């Protein structure tokens, strides 16, 4: 528990139970941001360590990763886009809305539940689709980054 800065065993157990972590998995949680801060720097990250910056850097650097996750490969005028920049916006109630970061996701969720769109079933469906595509990429990004790190740790870059 010390590696997670949890010094109160009862609090640590409560947090891990709340997160649904079984006793057999308690050593398997990894804070990828902490690993990035401690072990991974790429010039394209410009000193930043958020998942968006790390993914953008490894996405550009790792052709094998782009082949493996080709559904996220997009270009704008022959310029490779990072997967977050490539998330397509959706037209909702006459406006083009995109969700490519956490702040936009929170705003879209708030609009869907409490905003002018809360009583518009079509808009709610569209906001849901936007949020799901963003969450899907966030999850895939962790896998992509981990795969890149594994390649770096086990052999030469492709």
Neighbour tally for 74: CB within 10 Å: 14
Which of 53, 30, 33 minimizes the C-alpha distance to 42? 53
| pLDDT digits 0-9 by tens, 12-29 | 777 777 766 666 555 666
User: Whole-prediction pTM value?
Assistant: 0.75
Per DSSP, what are the bridge partners of residue 90?
A: 97
Q: What is the pLDDT of residue 33?
A: 84
| pLDDT over 60 (residue 108) | yes
């Amino acid at each position: 528990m010390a590696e997670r800065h949890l010094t109160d065993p009862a609090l640590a157990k409560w947090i891990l139970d709340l997160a649904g972590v079984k006793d057999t998995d308690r050593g398997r949680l990894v804070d990828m941001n902490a690993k990035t801060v401690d072990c991974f720097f790429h010039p394209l990250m410009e000193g930043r360590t958020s998942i968006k910056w790390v993914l953008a850097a490894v996405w550009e650097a790792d052709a094998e990763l782009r082949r493996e996750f080709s559904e996220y490969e997009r270009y704008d005028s022959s310029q490779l886009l990072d997967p977050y920049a490539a998330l397509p916006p959706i037209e909702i109630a006459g406006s083009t809305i995109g969700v490519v970061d956490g702040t936009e996701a929170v705003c879209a969720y708030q609009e869907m539940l409490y905003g002018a769109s809360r009583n518009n079933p079509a808009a709610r469906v569209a906001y849901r689709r936007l949020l799901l595509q963003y969450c899907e990429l966030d999850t895939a990004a962790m896998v992509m980054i981990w795969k890149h790190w594994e390649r770096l740790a086990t052999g030469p870059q492709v």
